[in-house]
A and B are shown apart, each in its own frame.
Chain A
Amino acid sequence: DAKTTQPPSMDCAEGRAANLPCNHSTISGNEYVYWYRQIHSQGPQYIIHGLKNNETNEMASLIITEDRKSSTLILPHATLRDTAVYYCIVRVGNSGNTPLVFGKGTRLSVIA
């Protein structure tokens, strides 16, 4: 079973920041937070991951609370192409063969 809780759906206006929350209250000390997204009719796409520090890359920023029980994925300037299902996953980071366990994710709709 997925170890994360996400809202089933969210809307965001085009050009605004999209903030997607994720609760992972039972996260262990050696588990990382990963975010993937799945655009309709495509395979999931890696976005970002982190352990306890905030992370930023060309796609998004990841903010993890100090107690690590929740996190927020931020898309700073959402576009229509960001409409997708976003999955928050916790996974042991130092074992590459630990499979990703997907929940149902959050369906983000970016509206013009």
Chain B
Amino acid sequence: DAGVTQSPTHLIKTRGQQVTLRCSPKSGHDTVSWYQQALGQGPQFIFQYYEEEERQRGNFPDRFSGHQFPNYSSELNVNALLLGDSALYLCASRKGLAGITGELFFGEGSRLTVL
């Protein structure tokens, strides 16, 4: 049973460029969340997708956008990259929105370096 898979694992961009990161949720999961983790910090919530709609959003600018596809996979897009966008981007999945289910399954992340 494949867990959460993310691609690419590493990438380097320059300031002003755009980047797209991809995530396939764990089998049976339909809700995808994205987190940004700067070096030495805990992950910070970006947004959550369910039924192809953004359901929750953290304190991130509009340069950060996303999409969820009918097969539940998801993309994170970041436009006009800044040096401060350098971070590990984590995708997490779960089944459904409601409930007390504890487990949120995380992928191993995509490490973005902006030069």
Contact = CB atoms under 8 A, between A and B. Distances in A.
Given A42-B108, A101-B45, A102-B44, A96 B102 contact: no
Interface size class of A (residues with CB under 8 A): 20 to 34
A41 B102 contact: no
Interface residues of B, number: 32
Interface stretch (B11-19, B76-84, B89-97): B89-97
A38 B92 CA distance: 13
19 contacts: A2-B42, A32-B100, A41-B108, A42-B109, A45-B106, A46-B102, A87-B42, A93-B100, A94-B100, A96-B101, A97-B55, A99-B45, A99-B56, A100-B45, A100-B104, A101-B45, A102-B35, A102-B42, A102-B43
Interface of B: 4, 31, 33, 35, 40-45, 48, 50, 55-56, 58, 90, 92, 94, 96-109
Nearest to A55: B102
Tell me the interface secondary structure of chain A in the complex.
loop
A29 interface: no
Nearest to B111: A41
